[in-house]
Amino acid sequence: EEEVEVNDALMRFFDHCAKFVALVEENEAAMCQVHAFKEGPEMRKVLEKVASALCLPVEELNADLVQVAFLTCSYELAIKNVTSPWCSLFTEEDAKVLEYLNDLKQYWKRGYGYAINSRSSCILFQDIFQHLDKAVEESKSSKPISSPLIVQVGHAETLQPLLALMGFFKDKEPLKANNYLRQAHRKFRSGRIVPYAANLVFVLYHCDQVKTSREEYQVQMLLNEKPLSFLHSNETISTYADLKDYYRDILENCHFKEECELPKINTTAVDEL
**Is 1 inside a domain boundary?**
no
Range of the structural domain that residue 143 is part of? 8-260
State residue 45's pLDDT score.
97
| Total domains present in the chain | 1
β-bridge pairing 226-227 and 217-223: antiparallel
State residue 3's pLDDT score.
82
State residue 270's pLDDT score.
53
Stated as kind and residue range, the H or E segment containing 113 is none
Which CATH number goes with the domain that contains 252? Answer: 3.40.50.1240
State residue 244's pLDDT score.
98
**Is 213 inside a domain boundary?**
yes
**Is 272 inside a domain boundary?**
no
State residue 266's pLDDT score.
58
User: Average pLDDT by consecutive 10-residue portion of the chain (273 residues)?
Assistant: 89 97 97 98 97 96 96 93 95 97 98 98 97 97 95 96 98 98 97 96 95 95 98 98 97 95 69 57
**Is 68 inside a domain boundary?**
yes
Handedness of CA 113, 128, 246, 189 (dihedral sign): negative
Is 264 exposed, middle or buried, given 0-12, 13-18 or 19+ CB atoms closer than 10 A? exposed
**Is 269 inside a domain boundary?**
no
State residue 256's pLDDT score.
95
DSSP secondary structure, 27-57, as one string? -GGGGHHHHHHHTSHHHHHHHHHHHHHHT--
Stated as kind and residue range, the H or E segment containing 219 is strand 217-223
**Is 219 inside a domain boundary?**
yes
**Is 160 inside a domain boundary?**
yes
Report the distance separating Cα 244 and Cα 256, nearest Å.
19
- How many CB atoms sit inside 10 A of residue 259's CB? 18
